Amino acid sequence: MWWIASAQAWDQVGATWAPEDRPVEVWLGDVGDLPDSEVEAAAQAAMATWSDVDCADIDLVYAGRAPDAIHGSADGKNVLSVLSAAWAGEAALLSEPVIVRDGARMVEVDIALNDHDHAFVTSGADGLTTFDVQGGFTHELGHLLGLWHSTVADASLNPLLDGRPQATSLAEDDITGLCEIYAVGTGGLGEVCGEGPDCASGTCLADGADRYCTVTCPDDSCPDGYDCLDASGDQVCVKASDGGCGCRSASAPGSGALAAGFAVCWMRIRRRRVAAEVA
């Protein structure tokens, strides 16, 4: 018997962030015995490492400090912490994610580094007796994004690299995993879509019973066959209704019949404007 094994070495948590929950806000909680500003810089650098992946339709946004947040308390915030005074988990663990999910939808993730049983530092870690804060956060943020562990030697999500300086950068396997579960849409203008991530522009338009990819038109310019109309507060290209363009293209006042035709056409466009919604 022959089979083709998957080339991927990464695994999934089984839940991801829904489009309407992105970008994902991340807070910084307790920093333990370490300097606030250095841990904050390490946290932001770790978030940027994942957000800078161009082929993935997801970003992590630093929301600020939450020093009173309790790790794993399900308080509605995704919190990164360094715990020096106490550690409730297994002493051997360098770090721990607490994941709250609703089926396949990610709801909240708290991350903590174990500075109680291990020595975390913001620079100069050797990965044996001292461990890197940014490396620990980068590894754990992969879990927050829905990825689990990888067997690739240089992957940030390899459990053997958790807390090591090497984990601060992503390997091809980390990037492949992120881009597979948050693939950037490729749908062009007018192509059928289900939601924003299906489209290259990130915008899927609900136009009556039709749903298709659209683009913004801040300069009032759209390709032939499209009108630039308001949809949920944004100017986007909407497929022209039958006769819509012809009516509006009249360049000079004409007979009463022509004027009446213009008014009817304009009212039809106005009704479509109200119905159009950006998904």
Structural domains in the chain, sorted by start: 10-181 (3.40.390.10), 196-278 (no CATH)
Can you give the pTM of this predicted structure?
0.69
Q: Which residue has the higher pLDDT, 218 or 110?
A: 110
Contact between 130 and 119 (Cβ < 8 Å):
yes
Least confident piece of the model among 35-44, 172-181, 199-208 = 199-208
DSSP-derived secondary structure letter, 102: E
Find the length of the chain: 279
CA proximity to 80, closest of 147, 31, 125: 31
Q: Which residue has the higher pLDDT, 185 or 247?
A: 185
Distances (CA, A) of 12 to 16, 143, 162, 194: 9, 8, 17, 23
Q: What are phi and psi of 227, to 5 degrees?
A: -110, 145
Contact between 172 and 166 (Cβ < 8 Å):
no
- In the predicted model, what is the mean pLDDT of the chain? 83
Q: Treating both helix axes as pointing N-terminal to C-terminal, what angle do 133-144 and 36-51 enclose, rounded to 10 degrees?
A: 40
Return the pLDDT at 113: 98
pLDDT class of 207 with cuts at 50, 70, 90:
confident
Calculate mean pLDDT across residues 40-65. Answer: 97
Return the pLDDT at 68: 96
